[in-house]
Structure formats: structure tokens, C-alpha cells
């Protein structure tokens, strides 16, 4: 699996003989080492969920937010190097406000995804900049309804029904594919996302984690916000139950 690009991996401005830019692939590895991040597009909105791995018992719950609002109608969940993620979020916020200043309406999610992707790609073009070590799942609700995009460290951005990045992304993607997203509301989606995150969490390798979730949907009046405490607790309970049932088999 690992192909050491001896000599061709020292700079992001060098291609290898087989046409790969190794620095970008290494950046993607940083994303793969972080906690799982999932995004799904339901009938009436988007749900984002993050498996926040807790590195120290002394961390306050609710700190180290991984999901950020980028504008009233959209939010971003970050996987990978947290500091790099903050930079991307700051840039996205600034793009969103400048679009609204100029055009008088909220930035369409597609446009926002393109701008974020361009920015991430920019940092793969110069030898004096390193690529971002984080992937981002961007969800928003605009005139064309709810939309979900994923931006990778290479600057690629695609639109998805369901996306996952981080440690458990393979397992998470399989689970998400099983869901009937077009018939699900966000309320149901929250429970499903919680279940998937609890399921793909590796008890052996990582001890504790905190579940962080947000949504943009009709119920939240098309504003991006943290999932309300009550619903979050319900989801956690349902997820733990589902896990116990699985373990019981």
C-alpha cells in the first residue's frame, strides 16, 4: 500500500514518474488519522456528525468544536489537523460574507464549496506553502435545497448524498450506503448518524470520544446550528442501545 516516493516526495511542486504528487497524498494521510466525520443529506436538510476523540480526561466537554458555522445557512465539519481546519473555516466565513456584501444574498452552497476548494488547491501549487492537512465536509441549505460537499486536501470537491472522512471512513461509508436517505427526515437522520459513529468507533485503539452533531433543515429554519441537546441525548441513547444489541449477538 505505501509506496515510498523516494526523492519525489520532498516538495509539493514535484510530480513522481507515475504522475502522483506525494505530498498531497501524505496530507490525506493526516486526515485518515483523525476521528471519523460523517455528513448525510436527508429529505429536508443536512446532518453532520463528528467523532471527537478525547485525548485527555481533563478536557471540558463541548470544547474543541469540530463543526463550525460558516454562514447562517451552512456549516463545516473538519477532520485532520485542527489548526489547519480553523484556517479553512476562517477563509470560508470570509468568502461567505464578501459574497453577501457584493451580491446581497447568501452565498450558494455550490459557490462556497468551489471557493473553499480553490483555496485548498492553491496551497498545493507553491513550494513555499504546504497543503492543508485536513478534509472538510460542508453542508448548507440554499435556494436549490440542501446540499452536501466534501473538500479534500488535494482541492478536489464533489457533491455527495453521504460522505465520510477520517479513521472509520470505510466502515462509515458502507453504513451510510445502507440508509434510504431520500425518505429520511433530519430528525431520523440524527439518530442514524449517531448510530454509525458509535458503531465505527474503535474501542480498542481509542478510549473515549465525544459526539458532536449539527444540522441545517426545515426544523432549524434553514439555519445551521448545533443539534438541540434533547435530540442529541435521544440520539446517543439510541446509538448505545443499538451497539448493545449488536454486541449481544
Partner 1 sequence: MDQKPFSQGLLSSEADSQRTLYPYVTGTSVVALKYKDGILMAADMGGSYGSTLRYKSVERMKSIGKHSLLGASGELSDFQEILRYLDELILYDNMWDDGNSLGPKEVHSYLTRVMYNRRNKFNPLWSSLVLGGVKNGEKYLGMVSMIGVHFEDNHVATGFGNHLARPILREEWHENLSFEDGVKLLEKCMRVLLYRDRSAVNKLQIAKITEEGVTVSQPYSLKTFWGFSAFSNPTVGAEGSW
Binding-site ranges for partner 1 (CB under 8 A): 65, 68-72, 93, 97, 101, 225-226
Shortest Å, Cβ 226 to partner 1: 6
Q: Which is nearer to partner 1, 2 or 63 (CB)?
A: 63
**197, 239 in Cβ contact below 8 A?**
yes
Shortest Å, Cβ 73 to partner 1: 11
Helix (H) or strand (E) holding 229: helix 229-248
Q: Which is nearer to partner 1, 136 or 200 (CB)?
A: 136
From CA 18, how far away is CA 96, in angstroms rounded?
A: 38
Shortest Å, Cβ 82 to partner 1: 17
Q: Which is nearer to partner 1, 69 or 147 (CB)?
A: 69
Q: Which is nearer to partner 1, 43 or 72 (CB)?
A: 72
Q: How many helices (H) and strands (E) does the chain have?
A: 6, 10
Q: Which residues have C-beta within 8 Å of that of residue 226, sequence separation ≥ 6?
A: 67, 212, 213, 214, 232
Three-class DSSP category at 202: coil
**Residue 151 φ/ψ, nearest 5 degrees:** -120, 125
Shortest Å, Cβ 71 to partner 1: 7
Q: Which is nearer to partner 1, 68 or 201 (CB)?
A: 68
From CA 223, how far away is CA 89, in angstroms rounded?
A: 17
Shortest Å, Cβ 3 to partner 1: 41
Three-class DSSP category at 74: strand
From CA 215, how far away is CA 236, in angstroms rounded?
A: 15
Shortest Å, Cβ 139 to partner 1: 15
Cell numbers representing residue 170 in the block:
470505510
Q: Which is nearer to partner 1, 90 or 129 (CB)?
A: 90
Amino acid at each position: 500500500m505505501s509506496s515510498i516516493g523516494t526523492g519525489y516526495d520532498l516538495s509539493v511542486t514535484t510530480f513522481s514518474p507515475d504522475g502522483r504528487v506525494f505530498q498531497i497524498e501524505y496530507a490525506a494521510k493526516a486526515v485518515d488519522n483523525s476521528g471519523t466525520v460523517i455528513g448525510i443529506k436527508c429529505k429536508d436538510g443536512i446532518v453532520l456528525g463528528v467523532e471527537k476523540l478525547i485525548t485527555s480526561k481533563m478536557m471540558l466537554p463541548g470544547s474543541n468544536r469540530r463543526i463550525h458555522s460558516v454562514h447562517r445557512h451552512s456549516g463545516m465539519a473538519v477532520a485532520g489537523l485542527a489548526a489547519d481546519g480553523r484556517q479553512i473555516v476562517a477563509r470560508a466565513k470570509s468568502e461567505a460574507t464578501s459574497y453577501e456584501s457584493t451580491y446581497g444574498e447568501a452565498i450558494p452552497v455550490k459557490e462556497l464549496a468551489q471557493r473553499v476548494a480553490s483555496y485548498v488547491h492553491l496551497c498545493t501549487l507553491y513550494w513555499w506553502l504546504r497543503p492543508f492537512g485536513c478534509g472538510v465536509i460542508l453542508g448548507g441549505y440554499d435556494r436549490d435545497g440542501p446540499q452536501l460537499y466534501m473538500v479534500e486536501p488535494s482541492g478536489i470537491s464533489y457533491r455527495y448524498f453521504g460522505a465520510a472522512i477520517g479513521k472509520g471512513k470505510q466502515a462509515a461509508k458502507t453504513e451510510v450506503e445502507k440508509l434510504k436517505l431520500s425518505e429520511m427526515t433530519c430528525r431520523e437522520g440524527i439518530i442514524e448518524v449517531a448510530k454509525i459513529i458509535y458503531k465505527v468507533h474503535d474501542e480498542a485503539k481509542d478510549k473515549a470520544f465525544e459526539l458532536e452533531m449539527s444540522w441545517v433543515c426545515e426544523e432549524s429554519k434553514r439555519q445551521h446550528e448545533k443539534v438541540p441537546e434533547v435530540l442529541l441525548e435521544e440520539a446517543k441513547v439510541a446509538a448505545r442501545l443499538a451497539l448493545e444489541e449488536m454486541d449481544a449477538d
